[in-house]
Amino acid sequence: MQGKILSTQLISGDDGKRYEYDKNDVVNLGNKDLALLTGSQVDFVSFDKRVAKSIYIIAENVNVSGILSADSISSARAKALWGLGLLFFNFIPYIGYIIAIVGFVLYLMAIYSVSKAAASKSLFKNYIIAVISGFLGFFLLIPAIMLLGSSEHVSIGTSVIAVLLLAMIALIIATIYGYRMHAELARLSGSSLFLWAFWIFIIAWVLLFIAWWRFKKLEKR
């Protein structure tokens, strides 16, 4: 008999009846998350009127809402990959910023899903602190640097120094909590690539900042 998965415990058969089932009876489930397979077509046998056995998934359904709402590892991975992918489209005029914001939200949801799945009380909190501190430090640092580099003869005021110090403090906090978040991701996943990505990003940002700081003339060809 064939039917459709309604939930992690219920199948709607083509005969109009509903059958309960156990996850262990899905023969070809593998490492897939059953919660994300709602709507998938299955083939099964039933030895009574209520229970499905020997269940085979014959046509998977892409459950977008399930991916977004689930807190499983496969759901988190999907949200993170989509989020990182969408962040690359920020170069598109106007609409690129909207796409990038969607990507950021998806990545935020991915970190939240991992923290829920791992029952971690610090992962998501560290990420939020790192993001807020990073944005704050960036938006404080840019005007301070512009004022400092606008003219060699402009005196450095107390307010500029204060803003610069606040920016540096915020960026240091972002770095500390960003490291904590990536270190926990590396520990939970068993992959040191998360830490490598963090340090490479920090080094790249510092080099880019230095390059712009030293950019004071154009060499025309």
Residues 73 and 97 in one domain: yes
Mean pLDDT of the chain: 83
Residues 58 and 100 in one domain: no
- Whole-model pTM: value is 0.67
* pLDDT cut 90: percent of the chain above it: 24
Residues 188 and 139 in one domain: yes
What are the C-alpha distances in Å from 16 to residues 1, 5, 190? 11, 13, 46
Residues 221 and 154 in one domain: yes
Cα torsion 114, 116, 122, 128: sign: positive
CA 124 to chain centre: 11
Residues 112 and 126 in one domain: no
pLDDT digits (tens, 9 = 90+) for 51-82: 888 888 887 776 656 655 555 677 788 889 98
For the chain, give the number of residues.
Answer: 221
**CA–CA distance, 26 with 203 (Å, rounded to integer):** 47
Q: Answer yes or no: is pLDDT of 190 > 50.
A: yes
Q: Which residues pair with 20 in a beta bridge?
A: 10, 51
Q: Scan for tokens 């059953």, then name that residue.
A: 34
The parent domain of residue 73 ranges over 65-118
Tokens coding 103: 């990507």
Tally the domains of the chain. 3
